[in-house]
Amino acid sequence: MDDTANDIISLAPIEKLTLHDQVANQLRDLIIEGVLEPGSRIDETDLVDRLGVSRTPFREALRTLAAEGLLVIRPSKGSIVRKLKHDEVYSMLEVLAEIERLGGRLACERASPAELTELLNIHDRMMTLYEARDRLPYYKLNQLFHSRVAMASRNATLIEVQANIQSRLKRIRFVGNRKPEDWANAVADHEEMAAALRVREGSRLGELLATHLMRTWDRVKDSL
Amino acid sequence: MTVTPLAEQIATQLRRDILRGKLPPGAPVKERENAAELGVSRTPMREAIRILAKEGLVDLRPSRSPLVARPSLREVMDAIDVLTALEMLSGQLACRNATPKEIDGLRQIHNRMADIYDTADPLDLFEVDMSFHRAIARASHNALLAETHQAYLARLWRVRYLTASLRHNRSRVLGQHGAILEGLETRAVAQVTAGIGLQLEGLAKSVALVLEPDSDAVDVS
């Protein structure tokens, strides 16, 4: 599990990843950062050329991103970056809030001391990145924090549902930290979560996570 | 994946075979034999098996027949915790968002269940029962919630059927559904979630009675 943490801050030896994983990771970042805009067509020829890969791993990567809900593959018409509608995003956040509420409660009951330390460590690194206003690495650690809380619930179904919804919301949550005051508010939420986690106050952590995700809606709704 | 109506029909039949124990947990689902028995060709049979695999009812194995899933008690309890969260949220949102037409639809399902409760085949009754829960999820007006609820309900299909048969009790089941319905009509969130909570607590309590106790230890690989 520790390997994943390192991957996120790009310390993993790159040769460990398959070619298709590397392509998928690069394309995912381009989507998250909005270089490839929602609704825009994927220019396969151009990207294949710029990435210097052949079409087979490129198409495999597209399928991975489609399964994550970031792309829509249209047979014989090319792929487009998925554009989420207002009510789709709201629906996702509403369900994710409940799932993470349960996840937070169970995580406080079930996390091992090592998992707890690791979660707090991720939190501390997020705060350092916030001080430096280093947005993409902060964003990735934030996603990792939410995934790790879900994992600490030790509930396989919950981990699956959480991962599935979180991956579809990737682009929109990056947008949510664009305004300085929104980012500051999200950071304040996270400080409270870390405090609840430290003393294993499960219902409090669950409540904070749910509230945090519904506030995410306020942060992103205008940019949809 | 576009699903043909034939594959969906076959999937329904296979689901019922799993519930009736004709295809018990751990049993291989033989493509050719099942296709011959149902008088269909192997292509839609294969597609139906993929539908069941996606629902978690069968486990695919490379170049061998898939097996009927044999979830451990732990896996089932985990799924019930998640399903409870999803049904509670459905109830809350349905209180706010259900249209009179949707509530009327729920009333019709409830009445039908009352009509057939003493005489129906347990499987038919179970399907009507589950359609009540799915209709509440749809009445939440949260499309992702309805979709997710449907998917995870499908995974718990067999245990839910077995516990429902075990806990067959007209006044309890219809009483709980009636209370949920009344709560939706009067937009009383606490009444709705209390009713849903009772049903799922009942499910969680009786799972151990219907699941093979040694299933944690069984290696199906």
Task: Tell me whether residues B144 and A88 touch, CB distance under 8 A.
Answer: yes
pLDDT digits (tens, 9 = 90+) for A33-82: 888 999 999 999 999 999 999 999 999 899 889 888 899 998 888 899 99
Task: Tell me whether residues B78 and A102 touch, CB distance under 8 A.
Answer: no
- Which among B79, B81, B89 has CB closest to A95? B89
In sequence order, the 6+-apart residues with CB closer than 8 A to the CB of A215 are A185, A186, A189
pLDDT digits (tens, 9 = 90+) for B25-63: 999 999 999 999 999 999 999 999 988 988 889 999 888
Asked whether the predicted pLDDT for residue A100 surpasses 50, the reply is yes
Q: Touching check for A94 and chain B: CB below 8 Å? A: yes
Please compute the mean of the pLDDT values over residues A114-126 and round it to a whole number: 98
pTM surpassing 0.95? no
The nearest CA of chain A is from the CA of B197 a distance in Å of 15
Residues of chain B contacting residue A95, judged by C-beta atoms under 8 Å apart: 86, 89, 142, 144-145, 148
Positions of chain B with pLDDT lower than 70, given as ranges: 1-3, 212-221
B33 strand-pairing partners: none
Share of chain A above pLDDT 90, in %: 67
Q: Per-residue confidence at A10, pLDDT binned at 50, 70, 90?
A: very low
Asked whether the predicted pLDDT for residue A2 surpasses 50, the reply is no
Please compute the mean of the pLDDT values over residues A25-31 and round it to a whole number: 90
Task: Tell me whether residues B81 and A156 touch, CB distance under 8 A.
Answer: no
For residue A188 the two structure tokens come to 């304040």
Task: Tell me whether residues B89 and A98 touch, CB distance under 8 A.
Answer: yes
> Taking CA atoms, what residue in B is nearest to A91?
B142
pLDDT reported for residue A144:
96
Q: Touching check for B81 and chain A: CB below 8 Å? A: yes
Residues of chain B contacting residue A102, judged by C-beta atoms under 8 Å apart: 81-82, 85
Token pair 């939190």 is found at A123
Domain B5-68 has CATH 3.30.360.10: no
Long-range contacts of A6-9 (CB under 8 A, 24+ apart): A8/A137, A8/A140, A8/A141, A8/A143, A8/A144, A9/A125, A9/A137, A9/A140, A9/A141
Please, which residues 133-162 of chain B have a Cβ atom closer than 8 Å to chain A?
A: 142-145, 148, 152, 155
Average model confidence (pLDDT) across chain A = 89
Share of chain A above pLDDT 70, in %: 93
Please compute the mean of the pLDDT values over residues A117-121 and round it to a whole number: 98
The nearest CA of chain B is from the CA of A102 a distance in Å of 7
pLDDT reported for residue B3:
64
- Most confident segment among A160-164, A176-180, A193-197, B117-121: A193-197
pLDDT reported for residue B62:
85
Please compute the mean of the pLDDT values over residues A94-102 and round it to a whole number: 98
CB pairs under 8 A between A and B: 48
pLDDT digits (tens, 9 = 90+) for A182-217: 999 999 999 999 999 999 999 999 999 999 999 999
Q: Touching check for A119 and chain B: CB below 8 Å? A: no
Residue A199 exposure: Cα atoms within 13 Å on the Cβ side? 6
Query: Taking the domains of chain B in order of start, what are their residue ranges?
Result: 5-68, 73-210
Asked whether the predicted pLDDT for residue A171 surpasses 90, the reply is no
Domain B73-210 top-level CATH class: mainly alpha
Residues of chain B contacting residue A167, judged by C-beta atoms under 8 Å apart: none
